[in-house]
Each structure stands twice: as structure tokens, then as C-alpha cells.
Structure 1
Amino acid sequence: MTRPPATERLFTPSFIALGVAELCYFTAGGVAIFGLPLYVTGPVGGDEAAAGLAFGAFALSALVLRPVAGRLADRYGRRPLLLAGALLAAASLALIGVADDFAVIVALRLLAGVAEAAFFVAGFAALADLAPPARLGEALSYNSLGLYLGVALGPPLGEVLVRTSGFGLAWAGAAALAVAAAGLALLVGETRAGGPSDDGERHLIHRPALPITLGFLASLVAMGGFLAFASLYAVRVGVANASLVLLVYGGVVVVCRLAFARVPDRLPPLALGAAALGTIALGLVLAASWPSPAGLLLGAVVTAVGVSFSTPAFFSAIFATASPSQRGVASGTASAAIDLGLGIGPILLGLVADPFGIRWALAVGAAVALAGAVWTLLLRRRSTVAASPATPATPAE
């Protein structure tokens, strides 16, 4: 049954069920964030470049399929893609636990990319359906807690499971969480109002969002590289518990999203996005230039503060360019940046880390974030100049 359009009430049962489903899904992903680099460089016998490739391989399939998933979400609804994505993720995680060949692991990560495309795109489209328009930034802040709580809780959970009974138990636990996400998706129901898009939209890419998406991409390249090598770098600089850095990172994002949930609705999204990118760059510079437990933890905190505002800012700007019937396509376009960032980031920084070390890789990530900040400020300036005195600025400004 199709649910009625969202009212001014934000915390509906469907909104809560969606958030908890995403918490389960991304906690499973958090287990992989911790375990995959160590699994590849340990039992599988690969090097740092192999770890980066395995970590980011899912982005190759996800990048291709996110725009398709967005179109399917607009045409057939959000719930089928939520269910399919969660179940495919469960299969990928479970099978990694019995794989010891690097090529097989890469293939399973490509399957994880299919899952990511379906679940993530449908999740953001459902969120835009459920949120009151005036509270979209706030809804994005709260909804993204599932992602960052998963990043915060998944690595320590993975570490406990690995220490308890090895990597097999960690992958099995992650798969169980993905199955739970599929069950919760049933409680969300179908959020798309009405039938398929009838406005003639046939594109897989939401073109008005592309310039904004480039700024978002820069934040994700930097963040993806940091996440891929945080546990390895923590071991190198002497952090006693390798998962602590990711726990602190995820915890700071969660606190900021709760404490400042309404900020994205009160500030121009592009200005906020540029400031977030500059903060991410500063955090990575701190981690790279101060190779110690204190320096890495401080860098993780500052990076997390920037990340906490980047996603709500850029998604608010992107959804401001889309009509309700285009939300799936807009979500697919925006989230394709996530595939590129979380795919290119680890691979690019892995290629730098292998010959030069992780410190230089983090410095490259900081440069990418700084370039993104400059680009986003230029977009902000252009949109401000384009707005005439008699015409109010659009929400993306």
C-alpha cells in the first residue's frame, strides 16, 4: 500500500524503521571497514595496494548501477530495492567469510556494490519522500546517524568477533545484520506517492545536480581514503586498539549530527559544504603531519566534524534541484559520488601509500578535499551572482 505524502511530523514509524534498517546495514559495512584490510593483508596474503583495491572494488559495480537503481526506484518503488540490496549484501558478506582467494574476494565486493546501489539509492529516495520539505536537512542529519553509528560500532564489533573466533565469525555477524536490515525494510513500507514518473523524465543522470556532485565527490574521496587506511595507520603509529580511531571518528559524527541537526536547514548548503570540505582537509593534514596516537585521534576528530556536515549540505543542495518524481534519479546521481569517492579514494591513496607511506596518502586526500572546497565556493559565488535582487536565491544557494 502506498503511504500518504509526508506531513510536518518527522519521526513517523516509517522514518524510524528506515533509520534502524540503515543502522543494521551500515553496521555490517562497519565490520567490513575494520576487517577487510586486515583480512586481505593477513590470511589472504595481499599488500596495501591489494587492500585498497578490495576495499574499493564495490564502487565499480555500484557506480554503474546507482543511476539505474534511481530510475527503478522512481518507476517501481523504494521497498523492492531496499529488500534486494540488504539481501545481496548479506550474501556477499557471508561468502567472504569462506573465501581465501583474492580474486574471489574482489568478485564478492563487486556483488556488494550491486547491493549498495539498490539499498542506498532507495533509502535516500524514501527519506526524501518521508521528510517534510522544510525539515529535509534535519531529516538527512538524523537519518545519516545509521551510517555513522554503523561506522562507529561496526569496527569494534568486528574486532571483538575476530578476537573471539576469527574472521569467519565477523563475516557471519555482518551478514546477519544485513538480513535484519531486510526485515526492517518491510516495516518501512512503500513511500513513493502515486505511480511512476509521468513528467517525461527518462534520464538516468540528474544533470542539474552534476556540478554540486563534484564537490560532494571530493569529500568522499578524502573520507574513503581515510576509512580504508585508518586501522592500518593506527597500528603503525602505536594505537593499542586499532578500531579506536574509527570508533572516535564515527562517534564524533554522530554527536555532531544530533547536536547540530537543524544547521543544514538554516545555512546555505553550498557554503556549508565548502566549510565542511575545508575542515576535512585540516583533519587529514593533522593526521599526516603528526604520526602518533594523539595526532591520529585529533585528525580523526577534526575530519569527522567536517564529514558530519558534508552529506546533509550536499544532499540538500542536490534535492533542491529535483521534483518529487525525480528524487530517485537525483539520489542515484548524488550517491554515485559515494561509489566514486569510496572506490577511487582507497585505490588512489593505496597507490600512494604503497611506495610513499600512509602519511603521504592522507596528504593527497587533504589536497583533494581542499580543491573541492574551492570548487564549491565558486559554485556558491556563481549562483549568488546569477540570482537577481528581485528573485530569492534557490535552496541550493
Structure 2
Amino acid sequence: MSTTAEASPTRIVNGAFLAPATAVFFFFFAFGMALPTLPIYITDTLGGSDLAVGTVVGATAVSAIAIRPWIPAGVQRWGATRLIAVCGILGAISFIFSGLIGSTAGLSGLRLIAGVAQAVIMVAALIIVSSSVSDAHQGQVISYLSVAPYMGIGLGPVVSQPILENYGPAWSFAAAGIVSLVATAAISPSAIRRPARDMHAPRTKPEIYLPALVPGVVLMLGILGPVALSTFMPLYIGDLGSNSPQWIFLGYSTVILAARILGARIPDRLGPMITGVGSTVLISVGLTGIAIAPSVLVVYLALVPFGIGIALQYPGLLALVISRAPAGRRSTAISTFTMFFDVASGVGAVLIGVAATIAGYRVAFGVCAVAALVGLALLFVFAAATAHDPGGESESEPAVPATADSDKL
């Protein structure tokens, strides 16, 4: 790690940060544009059920989980910025053709492509920014980067909803595809440069970083809430007398944006364990409020603790994983940990779809609240099990130069 990064934390937002963050923002802006369109398109145009909605939405996780172990090897070989540029194009293909497909099976196939793009873009961006700062500022730089996807997801529905209402789902999906191409344009100047390589470093192989599994499971159980929000909120608020899900998504993302910016240093100051516990409790409280909400107003109020919890849990737990990983395995640790986003999106979306089909949307959100509490229990078990080994694996392990993945931005 550079002494500059350690001495000048205010330089976290620099050229190495802005290019991947901008690409992440535009890709997830496109991803967010599909959120209000996808469930309505499946149920109204394709005649699918709630279970079909959960299955199609969860299809992104299948390919994302499959690609995760290969991302560090791909970054080492081609460079993180090149992968981001290519995946912006893949995302555009997925979004544009989603509005032209005539079956849920075909739509699921396109969501598989979106899953690959989503996983690669986020992991590659995390590798770039985490390699540019010291361990003392990992939580802060992760918090700042994670502003980009949540801002994109929050603003995307606001833009796509009027397009959907006035021109139909095909045009809404097409607009999302165009925005995804902007992500490629944002990173392309950096992607053109050939990344420096250490020819003597061993080639990275696909693998799973085992110490990241328990924090990843805790994250997964917390992320079930956002999965339910993105999958069924457009339908749930219809039962509450509203037809404007875009403002729910915007409100949720606004809370996360504020918490990530104003509370960026909380994981580094309080420590990842305390941050993990507090954030998980807030997630469960917020989901409980959504589940029992008698009106849309209560849903908005419940978004506050829920959004703050989601905002703090991810950077806190990821900082915990990174700080305990040897330098040469940090890209693998990041890939393994963030894989649980996709597990939550895939398995979680299907299970939540089953719960919604059998017992309704309220029960589905209630199940997510309970799942977050299970994650809280696991976090306490993990803290007890690692109390005498806070440093994780030995730092004497030979280091694969994952920091070279930043393509020398």
C-alpha cells in the first residue's frame, strides 16, 4: 500500500476511483431502469406468475455465481478496466433484447447475461479501488464506491417508469441498454491502456476464499430484504393503493446514499464487527415495518432503518474480509464475499417468490426480517470463533500482485 494513501485519506476519490465508479453508476442506472419494468412485463405481457417473477429476476444470480471464481483470473489476464468495458456491452445486449423476447425462458437467458455483467463490473471495480488505499481506509473507500450502484438503482426507475407508462416495456428496456453502453464509454479510456503484468507471478486460478464464507452468508441473509424490495415492491404497493414504485426505489436509494456518504468512516471507526451487528438489527427492524405497514407512508418510514442497515452492513463486512486476507488473495476474497449478493438474488428470489405465492407479500418481507436475525446470530458465532485469530490467514503467504489489476489508472 502506498504511503500517500495512508497519509492523505482525502485523496480516496481520485482518478483511480472515479473511472470505475462512473462505470458502475451507469451500469446500475441501467439495471435500475429494468426494476419496475421487469415484474410488470412478466405478469402483464408474458402472463407469468409471482413465482415466475422471482425465477426470472433470480436468473441473474445463476450466471453471476458461476462466474465469480473466474473473475480474479480474468482480471489478472485482461485487466479490470477491460472487463468492465466488455461487460457494459453485454449488459446493453441483455437489456435491449429483454423487451423483444416473447417468453419467460428467453427472458431468463438474457438475465443470465446481465448476471455475468453485474458480477464482473462490481468485483473488478472493487479490486481497483481497494488496491489504491491502506487497510485503515478500506471501509471508507468501499462505502464511497457503493454509492454508485445504489444511486444508479435509485434513479433508474424514476427515468424508466414514465417511458414504461407512455411507450411500453420494449422502449423502457431499450433505454436501459443505451445507458449500459455509457458505462463502457466511461471506462474505455482506461481500458485501452494495456495493464502492467508481473511475469514472475503465479497465474491466478479459479478458487473460493474460505474465510469469507461466514461473513458472506451474513451478508446474504441481510440482502434478502433488498431482493424482496426490488422483486415485489412494484406489486406490493399496488395492494396498498399506490402505482408509483419508482418513488419507493428512489427513497430507498436516497437513504443509502446519505448513509454511505455521511457514515463512510463508521466501519473504520467502530470496527466491522460492531458495524455488522448494528446494521443487521436495523435491517430486521426496517423489514418488519415494511411487512406490517398499513399504508405506503409506513413503508417510506420503514425504509429509513432498513436503508441505513443495508448501507453499513456491506462495507463493514467487506472491510472485515479484506483486512484479514493476505495481500495476494484479496481479489479472491472480494470475489468470494460478493458472490453472496448473487446467492441472495438467485436462491433468495425464488424462495421469496414461493413465500409470496403461498402467503402473500407481507409474509415474504417478514421472512426476510427473520433471515436477517439469523445472520445476526451467525455473526456472533463468527466473532466468538475468530476471537483468538483476528488476523485470519498468515501474511507470510506469497502474494499474487492483485493490485496490478487496477490497470495503473
Q: Is the TM value for this pair above 0.5? A: yes
Q: Secondary structure at the match of 1:36?
A: helix
Tell me how far 1:193 sits from its aligned partner: 6.6
Tell me how far 1:71 sits from its aligned partner: 2.6
Alignment of 1:67-82 (within 5 A): 67-82=69-84
Tell me how far 1:34 sits from its aligned partner: 1.6
After superposition, the Cα gap between the structure-2 partners of 1:395 and 1:30, relative to the gap in structure 1 and judged at 3 Å, is farther
Q: Which string of whole-angstrom CA distances, capped at 9 and with x for unpartnered residues, describes residues 168-199 of structure 1? A: 22111111111110111124457977537836
Q: Secondary structure at the match of 1:363?
A: helix
Q: Which amino acid aligns with 1:130?
A: S
In 2, are the aligned partners of 1:277 and 1:310 still within 8 Å (CA)? yes
Deviates most, 266-275 or 60-69 = 266-275
Indicate the residue corresponding to 1:158 in structure 2: 160
Structure 2 residue 293 is the aligned partner of structure 1 residue 313: no
Indicate the residue corresponding to 1:259 in structure 2: 262
Return the alpha-carbon distance in structure 1 between the equivalents of residues 207 and 226 of structure 2.
26
Tell me how far 1:240 sits from its aligned partner: 4.5
Indicate the residue corresponding to 2:363 in structure 1: 360
Tell me how far 1:201 sits from its aligned partner: 5.9
Indicate the residue corresponding to 2:400 in structure 1: none
In 2, are the aligned partners of 1:257 and 1:308 still within 8 Å (CA)? yes
Structure 2 residue 115 is the aligned partner of structure 1 residue 133: no
Q: Which amino acid aligns with 1:53?
A: T
Return the alpha-carbon distance in structure 1 between the equivalents of residues 38 and 352 of structure 2.
16
Q: Secondary structure at the match of 1:243?
A: helix
TM-score by length of 1: 0.92
Q: Which amino acid aligns with 1:168?
A: A
Q: Which string of whole-angstrom CA distances, capped at 9 and with x for unpartnered residues, describes residues 95-130 of structure 1? A: 102112111101111111121232122111112123
Indicate the residue corresponding to 1:121 in structure 2: 123
Indicate the residue corresponding to 2:346 in structure 1: 343
Tell me how far 1:273 sits from its aligned partner: 1.3
Task: Give the alignment partner of residue 14 of structure 1, picking from 13, 16, 19.
Answer: 16
Task: Give the alignment partner of residue 382 of structure 1, picking from 367, 380, 385.
Answer: 385
After superposition, the Cα gap between the structure-2 partners of 1:187 and 1:201, relative to the gap in structure 1 and judged at 3 Å, is closer
Q: Which amino acid aligns with 2:85?
A: L
Q: Which amino acid aligns with 2:147?
A: L
TM-score by length of 2: 0.89
In 2, are the aligned partners of 1:58 and 1:112 still within 8 Å (CA)? yes
Deviates most, 337-346 or 195-204 = 195-204
Q: Which amino acid aligns with 2:256?
A: V
The alignment of Structure 1 onto Structure 2 pairs a total of residues equal to: 387
Task: Give the alignment partner of residue 211 of structure 1, picking from 198, 214, 233.
Answer: 214
Return the alpha-carbon distance in structure 1 between the equivalents of residues 85 and 204 of structure 2.
25
Deviates most, 227-236 or 127-136 = 127-136
Alignment of 1:266-285 (within 5 A): 266-285=269-288
Q: Which amino acid aligns with 2:50?
A: E
Runs of 4+ in 1 over 3 A off after TM superposition: 4-8, 187-194, 199-203, 393-396
Tell me how far 1:165 sits from its aligned partner: 1.4
Structure 2 residue 108 is the aligned partner of structure 1 residue 103: no
Return the alpha-carbon distance in structure 2 between the equivalents of residues 381 and 351 of structure 1.
34
Indicate the residue corresponding to 1:94 in structure 2: 96
Task: Give the alignment partner of residue 112 of structure 1, picking from 108, 111, 114.
Answer: 114
Return the alpha-carbon distance in structure 2 between the equivalents of residues 60 and 68 of structure 1.
14
Query: Which runs of 5 or more structure 1 residues have no equivalent in the other structure?
Result: 388-392
Query: Which runs of 5 or more structure 2 residues have no equivalent in the other structure?
Result: 394-409
Q: Which string of whole-angstrom CA distances, capped at 9 and with x for unpartnered residues, describes residues 43-70 of structure 1? A: 1111111111111111011111111112
Q: Secondary structure at the match of 2:245?
A: coil
After superposition, the Cα gap between the structure-2 partners of 1:188 and 1:12, relative to the gap in structure 1 and judged at 3 Å, is farther
After superposition, the Cα gap between the structure-2 partners of 1:312 and 1:111, relative to the gap in structure 1 and judged at 3 Å, is same
In 2, are the aligned partners of 1:74 and 1:328 still within 8 Å (CA)? no
Return the alpha-carbon distance in structure 2 between the equivalents of residues 211 and 116 of structure 1.
23
In 1, are the aligned partners of 2:70 and 2:205 still within 8 Å (CA)? no
Q: Secondary structure at the match of 1:42?
A: helix
Indicate the residue corresponding to 1:328 in structure 2: 331
